[in-house]
Each structure stands twice: as structure tokens, then as C-alpha cells.
Structure 1
């Protein structure tokens, strides 16, 4: 898969000679709605014997036109993971655009000339609510007028679950509520984050439940504070775990936010490993215990619940 990094104004060499079908979108989360857009583009590319291309952006478009909080600046899928998902889907070319004020300020006609036509599309595909500029009229309904018959415009309708649109906004809301089971239904796969194993306070080891401390990027959207059933991928192997996102409130009132995972029946040294965490189920909220023994008793119950989850979902380690 080729990745072309594009900046407005484009260089003359930024173009493709092979015919393409271009799927447009930010694709944060790569959820079932995004997959429907890409699947339709993939089918069209096969029909037209064209390359499957994706036009996407290097950061939140909203950064250009509004002030965002640190939380809002986070992503469901960081760029490396998003590109991996594109590759696994069968995308041939990613047109990765720096979303700047000047890019956004193009007229729709200029956008078509600069960022579509020079990449030789026979069709352009996007979701019904996709926009490609700073004005309300820069939408899919009006794109055929700007295309002037040079390529086919395909609009994919909303994908729904429980009669509500599947969207990145909905997934972020569910993660902020800790509802990872619902998130996974919207994604069509487990919500996954990636981080490196670092040293922590090692309180878990003293309690009989040693934990792997996973340091995530500050730009990674995580589930809310609580305890979760997870699997952790180390290399090509998956392991069952119980994860805690929290501030260790039993031991301190001002601790930093950490992600700590006790891997069930695992005893290897994995400091420095880059791991992939699949978030499967919410077990409970974070609790401030009066004594360490109370915490150990609860962790024993968490362990039993986690093992039971594996018994009822035996394929999660495959």
C-alpha cells in the first residue's frame, strides 16, 4: 500500500496515472459505517478495474475551525493503526492530506481539481454526511455539480445499530461511559489500543496481582475509569487479562491516570514490549477500598469474573 502525503498547494508530481476509485473520509475508528463506504468503493474499483484509493486527513479537521480540549484532540485510531486497517482492507493508495486552513478554504471546484481529478478517479465514494470544505454546501449532494461528469459520485447511506446512526461521535460517547461491549458492536471488532510496557509502582506485585503498566500516547482515546476484561497481544500471541484504568485511589488521592493489566497465568518479563490491548467487557467502576485486604478480596472476584468471561467466550484468544 502506498501512502502519499499531500500538502496544499500540491506539487505538480502529486498525481496518479492509474485510474482509481477514491473513498473519502476521516475514518477515525474504522467503524461499520466507514467499512460500508470502503466496501462500496472496493466493489466499484473491482468493477472498474481500478485502484482502491482513500483520501483522508492527518488530524481532526475541527482543529482548524475551533478550540478543542485535550480530551477532544484524542483519536479512536491513531494513524499507524488506521493505515494498518486500510492495508488489511485491501486499499492500494492512501492520499493523506494535511488538513489546514488553506486546504479547507478552497472552493469545491478547486478541491475537485486539486485533490480529486489529478488522482484519476473514475468514481468517488463517501458517506452521506461527508463534507470536503468549510461551507455547508461542500457536501456529497452537490459534488456531482462540481465533478461535471468527470467521475461517478457514489453516496453511501447511514449505517445504523439499534435504529441509531453508527458514528465516531457515538463511539467516543460510549467509551466515556465505559460501554466497550456496545463499542465493539459498532466497530465490528474489539476496540484496540497500543502502548509500551513500562515500570510502575509495583503495588500489584505486593498484592499478589502483578500488573503490566501500559503507557499510551496522550492522543489515544481510552475507555473511562474502571476495570475491564481484555486480551493483550504480545507479538503473535494473545493473553487474557483484567485491566484497570484509574488513579489507584485506594493508595493516593492525587495519583496519575494509569492503565494497569494483570495478565492471567502469565509470568514473563515484558518491559519494553509494544502491546495491543483489546477491550472486551466492563467489569466494574473504580472503588476506593478502606484496606489493602479489601482490595485483594475484590481482585480475587475480578479474577474469577475474567476467567468466567473466557469460558463463555472461548474464541477470544484465537
Structure 2
């Protein structure tokens, strides 16, 4: 149970439920200072945000964002009473449009992908293991659902999405089956889609469900996750103060590749080519803080979902003209 709030402030004791992924490593990476301003761009259920708030003093500020209305409802319930906290429902890709970030940030956290509560609630349509409406939207009030997209998309577009975002080798075969099935019966349930994919793709040696990669790919496409990540990284670096840190947790290779390449682009000079005219001297914007950080054995044993998590941290440099 959470402790009782005192003087209008959020209780600082960590809940007894399991900690969010890479909790300790995130807090170490952000190096939270007492009077700093920090943005959690993917609030979820507030695990990392609560850890940051514990380290803030009376003059510190915590800004939290999420495009999921259920996450925002939790933030309003548990965090809004604390005057140090501000809450904004939106994608972190839009953080530049939030006036609260205008004075600069000392740290930013993005915890990418789908959250455990989203996976665990069948009605959200993220899980092939639980039958529910084929939705998959992190913001159910915006855009089209997975069912709506699958009902209208051309076979080639579906195949391209499955290959690009899920690295699904049987993408064309699955897309063909989806188009053939929807001519008979609309695909409106997660169990329908999972069963169809299982009929098309045999279970591999790793015993994972054949629908895993397709569900991931469709979810990424529906939520524009990779495009939002690229925009969010630019926005975060723009708002970070010199010395501020950006921490990003990713859960699959596509996300991690974008983060790694982005950090390297701003931290390392590109290789020179003696055959080309000399370019203007490279001025780094970021400094890498270590390399890829992964869960230790204790966390893996307590939380199997942390197995694929990768944390990368970078610090903004002061760029002199």
C-alpha cells in the first residue's frame, strides 16, 4: 500500500509492486538534482516518475506526458496533488508544444513501446494472448484502429508493414491471408488475427507465438511509434539544458537502432574522406554516457519482460559559437 500524502505532496515511498524496467539504472543515468526540471515522456503507471520525484526538493519540477488516457487518469489521481508536478496528455513527439518545457529541462526519459497495463487489458487489443477488440491504439481517441486499417489497406501495404516493423519473413503470405479472410469475414478481434497467422506460419524452434512479430509491426504502424521517436529525440535535445541528460529505454532492435544512431550522430564526428573537400569542423551536441545498459540477473528473474530492454543515456554539451 502507498503511504498517506502529507501537505498535498505525493507519497514518496515506492509501491510494493515490482519496479519498472531498469528502474535503478534510469535514475542513475538521469542524475537527478534537487532543484532540476525533469520530463517523463511516457508516464505509464508512474514507476520511473515516482523515483524521480523522490529525489526532487521543493523547488524541483516533474513534467509527465502520455497519450494514453488511462495513464493520464492515473497521473491525475496519484500525482496531480503535488504542486511540483505538471501533467499533459500528448505524445512526447509534441513536447516542444508544451509551454511547461520552454524554460529547459535537466533530464528527459522515454520508455518506449507498449506498457504492461496495455498488454494485460484485453480490451486494448495489444495482446494476441487475450481476445479483445483489434484496436492497438495507445490513444484510443485518435487515428484508426488496427481493425480499420486491416479492413482497407492493400495487400502490399500490409506486407510492407509486417516486414519493415516486424521483420516478419512470411509477411507476404500473411498479408495475402488477411486480404482473403476479410473478404469473407471482417477481422475485428485479436484472437481472429492471431489464429489466422498461426494457420499461415508454423511455430518455430524458439516456440514463440507466430503472431508475435505481426502484432508488433501493426502496433508500431498504427501508433506511428518510430516516426514519433525520431521527432521526440529532436525535441528532447532541443529542450535539454547543457549538462541535461536524455535516457531512452527501447524494447526491440528497430527502436534501439534509431536511438543509437541518433546519439552517435550528435556525439561522434563522421568518418572523413580525403577525396572530398574539407568540411566544417564537427561540433558534438551530445556526449554518450556509457553504452547499452541491460537488466541484470536479479531483474530478469523478477521481471521476464525486462529481457529485451535496452537503456541508452546521453548528456547534452554546451556548444560554444
TM bucket, shorter chain: under 0.3
TM-score norm. by structure 2 comes to 0.26
Report which of the two has the higher share of strand. Answer: 1
TM-score norm. by structure 1 comes to 0.26
